[in-house]
């Protein structure tokens, strides 16, 4: 049994790059966040917009991180299964 794992590894790498891009994007958006509440000056709309954007980035970041880790574990398991099958069917000399 031989499975070409290169397309799966490329897909996993793409997922990892997307998760990394989300982390960078989140840090850039978080720099705009103001930790103090400006109720009297009308700055709450910008604060709530930044908070909403951060919530969306966090939601997608968590989902994609779990998918990336699970997919990486699956690719690793396929690789080790393939090596195990290959070693068990090889006749020792």
End-to-end CA distance of the chain: 21
Whether residue 24 contacts residue 18, with contact meaning beta carbons closer than 8 Å, is answered with no
pLDDT of residue 34: 67
pLDDT digits (tens, 9 = 90+) for 26-42: 999 988 776 666 666 65
Signed CA dihedral, 82, 85, 87, 93: sign only: negative
Only one residue has tokens 């951060």, namely 54
Residues in the chain: 93
Residue from 61, 83, 74 nearest 12 by CA: 74
pLDDT of residue 10: 97
Residues 6+ positions from 38 with CB-CB distance below 8 Å: 44, 47
Low-confidence spans in the chain with pLDDT less than 50: none
pLDDT digits (tens, 9 = 90+) for 11-20: 999 999 999 9
pLDDT of residue 1: 66
pLDDT of residue 69: 98
Indicate the pTM of the whole model. Answer: 0.79
All structural domains of the chain with their residue ranges: 6-89
């Amino acid at each position: 049994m031989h499975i070409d794992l290169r397309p799966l590894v490329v897909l996993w790498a793409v997922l990892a790059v997307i998760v990394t891009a989300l982390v960078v994007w989140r840090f850039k958006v978080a720099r705009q966040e103001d930790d103090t509440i400006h109720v009297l000056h009308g700055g709450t709309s910008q604060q709530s917009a930044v908070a909403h954007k951060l919530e969306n980035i966090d939601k997608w970041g968590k989902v994609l991180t779990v998918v990336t880790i699970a997919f990486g574990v699956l690719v690793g398991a396929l690789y080790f299964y393939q090596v195990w099958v290959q070693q068990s069917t090889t006749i020792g000399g």
